[in-house]
Structure 1
Amino acid sequence: MKYKPMDESRYVWRVFLERGDYAKALTIARSRLQIDPEAHELVLKRQADKYLADGNYTAAAEILAQSTEAFEAVVLKFMSNDDARRLGLKTLLEKKLDSMQRPEDRIRRDVLVMWLLEVQLGELAETRREGKEQESAEHATRLQRFLMRKNVHDTVVVNKDAVYKLMASHADFDSQLLLAKQIGGLGSLLAAHALKYLEWAITTPYGAHDVALHNLLVVLYALFRPKRLHEYLIKCGLDKTAVPYDLDFAVRTCVQHKLEKSTVYLYCVSEMFSDAVDLALKAFEEEGITMAKECAHMMDPDEEDVIMGLEPKYPVEQRRRIWLKIAEFVISKDANAANSIGLLKESGDVISIQDILPFFPEFTRIEDFKEPLCECLREHSIKIKDLQQSMKDATLIAKEIREKTQKLRNRVTVIKAGDVCAGCERSLIGRPFFAHACRHFFHRECLEEAMMPFLTEDSKARLAELARKEKRLLSQLQAEERVSSANEALIAERQAQFAKVSSDINAILGADCPLCGWNTIELIDKPFFTDEEYERDRESWQTSLLFENFRSVM
């Protein structure tokens, strides 16, 4: 019997592997790669494990880069802040990058380039922080060579914005400048740094109110960062008197660069809501209606004004015209009754169903309006009931006020013989006096003196004039009474004038109690002395003290 030997070397690689002769084992396993690929993987793994155990991470990375083991599992072996492991990671990533030449590997190539760039930028920043100038220069040179590689350059050109941001995060301006010269993006780089400087400058006390700085920032945003321009405008607010930039200049800039979204917002800041809605509906297809509604809602009255019962800033008629524009546009695009009725609710009932009916086609089916109209009628019915209840409540309140007014007309105050004036504390009897509902009583002269601090300069002048007129009329009446042939008509006229003057004086003096009335309550937070009175009082005290000191010396 004869035996023919076949494939005698199929286990020879294992013999060399057990001896630790990885080079020969790998050579044999590579020659049998098509027959026994598992042998090749096993030799690579054992050789890499040996290098890892010896701390030779660079050699291990070169071996593992040839392996088909999962990339994530391989990378985990090198994830550390240790310099040797980091060098091994760089070697592994570079080997993997060199092996990816197919067009379908573009995304993975981009990821590897960004990862390698992050690692090298981190090393460069670390050596700079530690003050190692020579190592820092070597790292910078390697980074520049890395950026000049063909496969790296292609990735950087496609993802230049991300690369610039990555370099900026490590404060590596030199690499940014080199890259900008290499790919022709120097203008964008300078603009980015100028923007960063201006963003800092407007936060300083001097730059915060510098209109020129803010205008320059608006221009650079419009040229290079349109999205950030819109964020900046929103941050500045809607109050056109408080925005830090020139509003007209910002509008012209946005119109010039065709930044419709920012232009719409600036129109709203300028209170040109009609133009803002027109531009939003014209320039934007899908989000135009939403933007137009946002513009309309900017005209809604503030909650505080509603609570305080103040007049809204924008009249209802102006808001109504804006909402009608939106409704007409919505109906022209889609004559859906339900969507159109929804606008009525969104407008806060500024527009009604009868306002939007003319916008629908003539042959619109009434069935489409059935449910929205019924809902609208139900809401109107509820509002009518609320109004009826409000009218009923108002009628009851008016009736109660009339009854109280009638009672007040018939109200009397009993003056006792022992009641005294609250000013001079003397008996009221024998002199003209005023009686307040709070039972504080004053002689006429005492009340004049007590009311003087509460009267304005005009009221004081008016009171003095009335007092002189009253005194003159009283003298004339007394003189005519002593004359038997006096004209009765003239006396009656002067008596009427005297009564009118007395009534005007009573209206000024008797309007409120000087001890417990509203005027006294409102003065609770005011100082007792004016600044001039305080200075005079202080000087008088100083004079008294000097006089006392002089007397003690004498």
Structure 2
Amino acid sequence: MDRSQRTSRDRDAGIFAKLNVKFNPKGTVTHLNVQNQIMLICTNGQTLQMIKLQRNEESSIPLSLALHDRISAVHLDPTGRHALISSSMGDNYYLSTKTKAVKSLKRLKNHEITAVGWNLELSKDTDTSFIVLGTSKGILMETSINASGNMSYLKTLTSDLVKGKNACEVTSLHLSPCSEYSSEAEARWMLLVCVPSQLFCLAGVINPIARESTAQQVVGTMFSATMLDQTVATLQALFKEKPRSLSVSSKQENLPSTVVVYPVGKNEIPNKFVWLNSSGIAFGTLDPSGGDPSSSDALDIVHEEVSVPHKMIDGRLDLPMDVALTEHHALLLYPDRFVALSLLNQKVMHEELLTNESLHIVGMTRDSASQFIWIYTESSILKYRPVDETRFIWKIYLDRGEYSKAIKMTHAMEDARPHQLVLKKLADKQIAEKNYEAAARTLISSAESFESILLKFTSAGSAGRNGLKLLLELKLKEMDIVTSEDKKRRDLLICWLVQLFLSEMAEARRVGLDAAPLDSPERHPEKNVRQLRDQLFVFLNNRAFREAVEVNKKQIYELMLKHADHESQLELAKSLKDHTKVIDTHIHLQNYEAALEVVSVQEDPELFYQYSPLLFPHIPKKMFSAWTKNEKISPAKLLPTLYKCHASEEMRNAAMYYIKWALSKAKKEKSVVDKQMQNFFISLLANYKPEQLLPYFESYGKLRREVPYDVEFALRICLEKDAEKTVDLSRCCVFLYCVAEMFEQAVDRALPIDLNLAKQCVKMMDERSDAEINSFILPFSDFEDRPQKYSTEMKRRIWLKIARYVITEQKDVEACMNLLKESNNILKIQDLLPHFPQFTKIEHFKEPLCASLKDHSAKIQELQREMREAAEVANEIRGDMEKLKTKFTIIKPADKCEKCKEKALTRPFFAFACKHFYHRDCLEKAIQPTFTQEEKDSYNVIKGGLERCRHPQRAADLNNKEFEEWATLNKKLEQLLSSSCILCGPKMIKSAVRPLLTEEEYDRELETW
């Protein structure tokens, strides 16, 4: 059966459907009670049967009743665990439905129990906890019974609840806490007591935990009865005062009077009641938190709202036999029909005639756990279940204007039409009241087309704008983005919503400016605009829309720009952490310092490179400070910005300060500075601060390989500026010529300036040579053979330039003679004589000539000494060579090859004076990696020649010429192999500084990492 068919069938069947029950009683049914799928049936007034409905398990419960005694009541707690059976002659029994054990309650002898107030909060499988018993004589007692049927105690709470009336039967009891029960020591409990024509409500603060603890301690002891009799009842606090009651006038005590509450269950506080009394049916609510907490009279908890009188039929009252209560209906059992009255309007919502059943209807019970209603006659059982009990309730709520309750009801219904009707009615009411935001919240759940809903708001003009905004926002939240079309719709709604906010802000600005006088504070509408902007960003910052806002940020920026709302644009960019947009907006608004602050906070050098050209012309000093604080910036990448510094003096100063700072930092850290940066700095100094140029050059020294700047560029700049005659940079030119090792040009440039400067230039050649030597780590023997960097002839030529200048320009012979010593004897007197005037006196040359002759004499004597020493060394070498001809080495049989560790005498070997021995083949393999490139080439040539001589096809034809060739090659190979020991010779020493890997091997190894 499909859903529509099932719904139609349920609607036709009414809100309570009758279910078939197969039941064949063994006698006349007198009592029936069902709770939590446990059914107790009494037949013929004496036989008790228990049925566990879930298992369909039947059991007979034996009761030791007298012959003429009859069961008068069967009380079953809502959990279905405990039961009390009472007889008309005052015998009472306890039944544990779990163990099926029955025990007679002797202490209740002669008391007919007519009502039980079960303790749903504290009862367990093992005991009932404290409960209240009501008797046919109006006595209220408190007791606790365990699963074995033992009563822990029995205390009479009251025997005269109804003053002036004797034998007033207690018809109903209900016991529950006034709030959700917790494990606190003290709690307020209430007790509803119903007697004919009266309803009482008692309440008080009790200590159930202490009561339970005391009861557990004394149960099972031989003095338990005595001790418990002395114990005060737990609920005694509920009977401190004379209680008030709801009363009706009645002349007959035997008319029905019973009260039922809803809900009934653990951790559930009852909030509704129906009281069936002699006058009619009273409907009301319970407010357990009401009343005076210090008073035991708690009638204020009970609020009677309406009473429906009994009808008169044929001159007699049409009285219900029994009553039950559900969430929405009061169920009444009449002798001929079953009726359900709505709790809201007390109208009949369901009525079913029972004329086809046995005429002897006995009663009705409701299982609070399963919600089933059981009606029993003397010979049959009827079972009803609620079917869509709220089917008509929503209409009542709708007619009464209680829309929230109607929406809640219809939302759970299978048929969606009632829910949509309620939403439409509510939205129409809200729109009529101009409550557009509430209407938006209502209509977002409506099935009405989105276009028609939008029309309701757009037709309202600006008044409906807030509702329209809320509607769009709610629509966005409920959208499921699955396809690309869904994304397009989402993006469109977001942009529309932003447009609404921006339009409203623009209107607020315009209205504020137009409506208020010029000097009025209301003319400045910033407050309203700020509120609207806050609302906009509450939407934009919502997590549900965050991704969509980021995707559409470009379109949103454009919308804001069209409205000239730069503040919103800036705030959105900050919210999205779109730093580029934040900076662009600040620059557009000429907030350069704010833009720089954003750039600085990010510490991203790329942002500095991007925005420095825009910010530097406006705030050069602050830019300089920001650059120096960011260590990630590469100064070379700021050159495009620094090139703009010619525009103003402030920019030039900031640029020069920064470049000087960068150069100084690089010098301290010994890092490389881009040459373009150096060249630009040199250009700036040459143009604007020429006096600082020479100290700058001098700070890096005179060795060309150590200076970081481009010497040729610097020299060109200095020559150009010097040629313009605007500044004197001659000394800078001289210095740069020296750095470039163009000493002749340096001297030519220096002579017109300063003779001493020219001398320093030529002396620098000797200093440069010493520096070059000291900068290399070479064997001592290499120094002797190393050619001088600058030839003596070159030095003499430059010194002669200086000498000619002194002779021709200064005409100072004595100063010229001093040049002989200053030149470190590079200049000779004979070099100078041709340049002196013809009639120069000889006195000036006397001393230099004598010194020159003495110098020649000393050199001749030194040469003779060296020749004698050379002859002695030659004689020693000849003697050593003669001794070597007879030198020998003793080879022992145990001596081994240093490579293969086998005995050396087993095959051809080499013996070194250091006592290291190697087989020829072992030595050949070991020595090859130590060869220089020249030695490798020689080795390959020798090996190739030997292979040709040893070719098998030619071995037999080897003639004398070929043999001599082979012998020569073999000797060369032996000389190459025996040049030095590979363990302790020069090759081993040189290998200490050889890299472990060649460049090719290093590159190959690096690729594998």
Normalised by the length of structure 1, the TM-score is: 0.53
C-alpha distance in structure 2 between counterparts of 1:208 and 1:217, whole Å: 15
- Going from structure 1 to structure 2, the CA distance change for 1:384 and 1:192 (only over 3 Å counts) comes to farther
- Output aligned runs, 1:397-546, within 5 Å: 397-416=873-892, 419-429=895-905, 431-455=907-931, 458=937, 461-462=940-941, 464-472=943-951, 476-477=954-955, 479-480=956-957, 491-524=959-992
Q: 1:198 aligns with which of 653, 656, 659?
A: 659
C-alpha distance in structure 1 between counterparts of 2:986 and 2:648, whole Å: 69
SS at structure 1 position matched to 2:950:
helix
1:295 aligns with 2:761: yes
Conserved 8 A contact 2:730-2:749? yes
- Going from structure 1 to structure 2, the CA distance change for 1:394 and 1:341 (only over 3 Å counts) comes to farther
- Going from structure 1 to structure 2, the CA distance change for 1:333 and 1:389 (only over 3 Å counts) comes to farther
Aligned to 1:327: 803
- Going from structure 1 to structure 2, the CA distance change for 1:349 and 1:463 (only over 3 Å counts) comes to same
Q: 2:716 aligns with which of 248, 252, 255?
A: 252
1:221 aligns with 2:716: no
C-alpha distance in structure 2 between counterparts of 1:379 and 1:188, whole Å: 63
List alignment gaps of at least 5 residues for structure 1: 1-167, 169-185, 481-489, 540-554
- Deviation, 1:388, is 2.9
- Deviation, 1:197, is 3.5
Question: How high is the sequence identity, in percent, across the aligned residues?
Answer: 38
- Going from structure 1 to structure 2, the CA distance change for 1:411 and 1:252 (only over 3 Å counts) comes to same
C-alpha distance in structure 2 between counterparts of 1:290 and 1:248, whole Å: 25
- Going from structure 1 to structure 2, the CA distance change for 1:515 and 1:276 (only over 3 Å counts) comes to closer
C-alpha distance in structure 2 between counterparts of 1:430 and 1:242, whole Å: 60
- Deviation, 1:228, is 1.6
SS at structure 1 position matched to 2:910:
strand
C-alpha distance in structure 2 between counterparts of 1:220 and 1:303, whole Å: 31
**Match of 2:755, as an amino acid?**
I
- Output aligned runs, 1:125-140, within 5 Å: none
- Going from structure 1 to structure 2, the CA distance change for 1:386 and 1:494 (only over 3 Å counts) comes to same
- Going from structure 1 to structure 2, the CA distance change for 1:335 and 1:378 (only over 3 Å counts) comes to farther
Conserved 8 A contact 2:980-2:986? yes
- Output aligned runs, 1:35-434, within 5 Å: 192=653, 194-204=655-665, 209-258=673-722, 259-282=729-752, 284=753, 288-300=754-766, 301-302=769-770, 305=773, 308-309=783-784, 310-416=786-892, 419-429=895-905, 431-434=907-910
- Going from structure 1 to structure 2, the CA distance change for 1:227 and 1:400 (only over 3 Å counts) comes to farther
Aligned to 1:176: none
Conserved 8 A contact 1:423-1:446? yes
SS at structure 2 position matched to 1:411:
coil
- Deviation, 1:361, is 0.8
SS at structure 2 position matched to 1:299:
helix
- Give the number of the structure whose residues are more often strand, by fraction: 2
C-alpha distance in structure 2 between counterparts of 1:216 and 1:356, whole Å: 46
Aligned to 1:73: none
Conserved 8 A contact 1:293-1:326? yes
Conserved 8 A contact 1:337-1:372? no
C-alpha distance in structure 1 between counterparts of 2:706 and 2:691, whole Å: 22
Conserved 8 A contact 2:949-2:962? no
C-alpha distance in structure 2 between counterparts of 1:211 and 1:218, whole Å: 10
**Match of 2:988, as an amino acid?**
T
Deviations 1:67-112 (A, max 9, x none): xxxxxxxxxxxxxxxxxxxxxxxxxxxxxxxxxxxxxxxxxxxxxx
Conserved 8 A contact 1:467-1:505? no
- Going from structure 1 to structure 2, the CA distance change for 1:335 and 1:529 (only over 3 Å counts) comes to closer
C-alpha distance in structure 2 between counterparts of 1:241 and 1:303, whole Å: 11
C-alpha distance in structure 2 between counterparts of 1:242 and 1:494, whole Å: 59
Conserved 8 A contact 1:305-1:312? no
Deviations 1:253-302 (A, max 9, x none): 222332111111112222222121112112x2xxx210111111121121
Aligned to 1:130: none
C-alpha distance in structure 2 between counterparts of 1:226 and 1:527, whole Å: 48
- Going from structure 1 to structure 2, the CA distance change for 1:403 and 1:305 (only over 3 Å counts) comes to farther
SS at structure 1 position matched to 2:873:
helix
Q: For this pair of structures, how many residues does the alignment match?
A: 337
State the superposition RMSD in angstroms: 3.8
C-alpha distance in structure 1 between counterparts of 2:771 and 2:712, whole Å: 30
C-alpha distance in structure 1 between counterparts of 2:771 and 2:708, whole Å: 26
- Going from structure 1 to structure 2, the CA distance change for 1:333 and 1:397 (only over 3 Å counts) comes to farther
- Going from structure 1 to structure 2, the CA distance change for 1:252 and 1:404 (only over 3 Å counts) comes to same
SS at structure 2 position matched to 1:493:
helix
Conserved 8 A contact 1:201-1:208? no
- Going from structure 1 to structure 2, the CA distance change for 1:367 and 1:429 (only over 3 Å counts) comes to same
- Going from structure 1 to structure 2, the CA distance change for 1:451 and 1:208 (only over 3 Å counts) comes to closer
Deviations 1:450-503 (A, max 9, x none): 434434654664464355235338x745x35xxxxxxxxx72212212211211
SS at structure 2 position matched to 1:202:
helix
Deviations 1:22-44 (A, max 9, x none): xxxxxxxxxxxxxxxxxxxxxxx
SS at structure 1 position matched to 2:856:
helix
- Going from structure 1 to structure 2, the CA distance change for 1:189 and 1:380 (only over 3 Å counts) comes to farther
Normalised by the length of structure 2, the TM-score is: 0.30
- Deviation, 1:510, is 1.8
Conserved 8 A contact 2:946-2:966? no
SS at structure 2 position matched to 1:351:
coil
SS at structure 1 position matched to 2:838:
coil
Larger radius of gyration: 2
**Match of 2:948, as an amino acid?**
K
- Give the number of the structure whose residues are more often helix, by fraction: 1
- Deviation, 1:391, is 3.1
Deviations 1:188-247 (A, max 9, x none): 777555533332233355996233332332233223433321111112333445533333
C-alpha distance in structure 2 between counterparts of 1:323 and 1:230, whole Å: 25
Conserved 8 A contact 1:451-1:514? yes
- Deviation, 1:345, is 1.7
- Going from structure 1 to structure 2, the CA distance change for 1:252 and 1:361 (only over 3 Å counts) comes to same
**Match of 1:234, as an amino acid?**
E
C-alpha distance in structure 1 between counterparts of 2:907 and 2:662, whole Å: 75
Conserved 8 A contact 1:421-1:428? yes
SS at structure 2 position matched to 1:349:
coil
C-alpha distance in structure 2 between counterparts of 1:524 and 1:208, whole Å: 31
**Match of 2:888, as an amino acid?**
V
- Going from structure 1 to structure 2, the CA distance change for 1:371 and 1:515 (only over 3 Å counts) comes to closer
List alignment gaps of at least 5 residues for structure 2: 1-620, 622-646, 723-728, 775-779
